[in-house]
Structure 1
Amino acid sequence: MKESDGAAIQRVLAGDGDGFQVLVERYSHALFRLAYRMTGNEADADDVVQETFLRAYRSLANYDGRAAFSTWLYRIASNYTLDRIAATKRRAEILHPLDQKPEGEEDGRAWQPVEQAPGPDRLLLSGEIQVRLAAAMEELTPQERTAFTLRHFEDLSIEEIGAALQLGSNATRNSIFRAVQKLRRNLAGWAGVAS
Structure 2
Amino acid sequence: MQTAGKEDSHARPSRAILFERARKGDRNAFDALFALAAGRILYFIRLRLGKALHGQIESMDVLQDAYLDAYTSFEHFKESDDKAFVRWICRIAEHRIHDCKDYFDAKKRRPPHGMHAVSRVLQLAKESGTGPLTAAERADTRERLARAMERLEEEEREVLVKRHFESMTIEEIGHAMGRSETAVRRLLGRATVRLGRVLAPADSETGAARG
Fold match (TM-score > 0.5): no
Shorter-chain TM-score tier: 0.3 to 0.5
Q: TM-score, normalised by structure 1?
A: 0.42
